[in-house]
Amino acid sequence: MIRMKIQDILKKENISDDPIKELLHQEISKIIDSEIDFVVERPAEESHGDYATNVAMALAGVLKQNPLEIAQDIAKKIDLPNFIEHSEAVAPGFINFKIKKDYYISELKNILDQSTDYGKFELPQKKKIMVEFGQPNTHKAFTVGHIKGVISGLAVCELLENFGYEVIKTNYYGDIGMHTAKSTWGVMQKGLPEDFEDWDKHKRMEFIADAYVYATENYEANEEAIRKINIDIYKKNKTKATELYEKIKQWSLEHQKALFAELGVVYDKQYPESQVYERAKKIVEENKNNIFVKSQGAVIYDGEKDGLTTWVVLTSENNPTYLAKDLALGFQKFEDYPNLDLNLTLTGVEQDDHFKAVIKILETLDDKFKDKYHHISFGWLLMDGKKTSSRSGKNIKGTDIIEESFKVAQTKIAELKDYDEEKKKEISRVVALAGLKFLILSHDFNKDVNYDPEKFVDFEGYSGPYVLYAYVRAQAILKKAGESEIKEVEISQNMNEWELSLLKWLARYPQYTYKAGTEISPHTICNYLYELAQRFNSFYAHCPVINASDEEKSLRLSLSKTTAQVLKNGLGLLGIETIEEM
């Protein structure tokens, strides 16, 4: 739904990803003078041309003629002398087009001129979109799922900002509910060490997470005491337990803020559950016997009448559930940002049914939510092919993942070059995060991803560090040559196969950013960047730059500079930093 919405907005604003494709489509439409549907696209095999169309085969059924003959006739009539070098009809009825080198040279100059803006689009009228992602709870561990959510959410924000959207990055965190009572009780049983407040923020959180697991394991025997803490927290009663609850909350938020910063995220707005739960109760109470009904002492949303799942919205203890609080959150968002055009919430796939109900109820409660509240789910980050749980403690925490990735990166960086300790740490940090982010984002959103740092922190295979290394290599060429040499000689049309292959792929970057943004598919950028890195490495192996002739050097330096720029732009869309040496 959200993908179609974004595509509709761009179509309405006449924003196109590929002007050549549009020109070809318009030219062919004039020639055939027919309302039939046909496509102009880039063939998977480059030997089939730069563009191809199936128009003749679409026409064959209407005209009752041989599609190859129709294709031959149309190919002769194509008249775009500024762009098309050659049109060819091929069996069974495709028309292949070869684009002039002039176009690619002009695109090379566009990259040099536009620099960081290359591959960006601009909406004529600013649209405001809120992206909610991350959503870790306080009082318990920041999990592998939260790592995946934060990395995925940041990439979605970058892709939308690339279209010119004003993006509001939002986090909704659970700071109230039974998990906070369990954690508080667990810490009380264990007792805080005297110097606890002086501990490192991540070490403090390990202690709190262990206390939560302990409380979960001992919940049945201590249910009454834990429920009493939960009631006191909801009622804001002043007790030793609620004072400790507030302290644990602050320690949790300090821990989360540090992890967000490490992953490159700064939120524009954060919503705690405690801010919306009173309103959640009010929404349910005001809509009893309308949207919600009483059932066995609780209040429910009977989703079956709408073809959805039935959900409890108010417990028998008169506490709002997650669903009720999400309804209140929806209203709060649109009050805080009354000109909000879209809301997009990212969560794990296990919440699909939950959000179908949330969106249905919001749209029933108020028309302002109609077609504006959307949900996208993503698969799990698996450990050894298995799901993990913070309740059992049988999981690798977010800090563990970052730390382990960092250590693997340090070992591999040491094999490349003998850096001083400080330099090695900085390079390893960037490489580790590049590997982790690329791993997560290189899969379809709804696919599970298996965590294996030995594979994703890799300088040879399909990985973030491989792409990052291509950027560093291009920058090293430019540094050695001196960038001033690029402007001294006109870029020549005389190109060998490696130069032309690289240039043609560079020119495709805007089409990939468009596709990734409209389809909310960061993996599209990952695939593009990996191919670009491969083509640049082939170019590097076959085309000397520093020792080339003046004519060759100008083109090759330009190709190196534009490759570095496009790699940096694309990595930025994935939330990946670049570095100048590795």
Q: How confident is the model at residue 341 (pLDDT cuts 50, 70, 90)?
A: very high
Per-residue pLDDT, 454:
84
Angle at 533 between CA 528 and CA 534, to 5 degrees: 100
Spatial distance between the Cα atoms of 443 and 527, rounded to a whole number of angstroms = 10
Span 572-577, mean pLDDT? 98
Contacts of 186 (CB under 8 A, 6+ apart): 210, 211, 212, 213, 214, 215
**Residue 75 CB-half CA count within 13 A:** 23
Unique residue bearing structure tokens 């977010």: 398
Eight-state DSSP code of residue 386: B
First and final CA of the chain: distance in angstroms?
42
Enclosing domain of residue 502: 419-573
Query: Which one of 80, 99, 118 terminates a domain?
Result: 99
Per-residue pLDDT, 450:
85
Nearest to 149 by CA among 170, 128, 176, 124: 170
Spatial distance between the Cα atoms of 485 and 478, rounded to a whole number of angstroms = 9
The CATH number covering residue 79 comes to: 3.30.1360.70
491 inside domain: yes
Report the predicted TM-score, pTM, of the whole model to 2 decimal places.
Answer: 0.92
Per-residue pLDDT, 418:
82
Per-residue pLDDT, 488:
44
Min mean pLDDT across 46-50, 139-143, 250-254 is at: 46-50
Q: How confident is the model at residue 3 (pLDDT cuts 50, 70, 90)?
A: low
Q: How confident is the model at residue 391 (pLDDT cuts 50, 70, 90)?
A: very low
456 inside domain: yes
- Cβ–Cβ < 8 Å for 301, 291: yes
Measured torsion, CA atoms of residues 433, 434, 436, 437, in degrees rounded to the nearest 10: 110
Per-residue pLDDT, 46:
85
Per-residue pLDDT, 385:
61
Per-residue pLDDT, 305:
93
Concatenated DSSP letters for 66-98?
Answer: -HHHHHHHHHHH---TTTEEEEEEETTTEEEEE
Min mean pLDDT across 6-15, 106-115, 541-550, 560-569 is at: 6-15
Query: Which one of 36, 69, 99 terminates a domain?
Result: 99
Spatial distance between the Cα atoms of 570 and 498, rounded to a whole number of angstroms = 21
Position 169 pLDDT exceeds 70: yes
Compute how many other C-beta atoms are within 10 angstroms of the C-beta atom of residue 228.
15
| Strand (E) or helix (H) holding 300 | strand 298-301
Compute how many other C-beta atoms are within 10 angstroms of the C-beta atom of residue 272.
16
496 inside domain: yes
Query: Which one of 67, 99, 131 terminates a domain?
Result: 99
Position 392 pLDDT exceeds 50: no
Position 47 pLDDT exceeds 80: yes
CA distances (Å), 158 to each of 179, 247, 362, 375, 525, in order?
Answer: 33, 34, 27, 17, 12
Token pair recorded at residue 311: 């959900």
Per-residue pLDDT, 416:
78
193 inside domain: no
The CATH number covering residue 543 comes to: 1.10.730.10
The total number of residues written for the chain in this structure: 582
Position 389 pLDDT exceeds 60: no
Min mean pLDDT across 128-137, 187-196, 404-413 is at: 404-413
Position 118 pLDDT exceeds 70: yes
197 inside domain: no
Q: Please provide the average confidence, as pLDDT, over all residues in the chain.
A: 92
178 inside domain: no
Contacts of 518 (CB under 8 A, 6+ apart): 3, 6, 7, 10
Spatial distance between the Cα atoms of 425 and 413, rounded to a whole number of angstroms = 9
Angle at 140 between CA 139 and CA 146, to 5 degrees: 120
Nearest to 471 by CA among 441, 512, 434: 434
The residue with greater pLDDT, 460 or 576, is 576
Spatial distance between the Cα atoms of 49 and 39, rounded to a whole number of angstroms = 15
Per-residue pLDDT, 394:
52
Min mean pLDDT across 324-333, 390-399, 533-542 is at: 390-399
Per-residue pLDDT, 5:
67
Token pair recorded at residue 106: 């002009």
Measured torsion, CA atoms of residues 471, 473, 477, 483, in degrees rounded to the nearest 10: 20
217 inside domain: no
Per-residue pLDDT, 561:
96
29 inside domain: yes
pLDDT tens per residue, range 481-510: 875 556 544 566 789 999 999 999 999 999
Q: Which residues of 479-496 are buried (b: 16+ CB within 10 A; e: fewer)?
A: eebeeebbeebebeeebe
pLDDT tens per residue, range 172-182: 999 999 999 99
Number of domains in the chain: 2
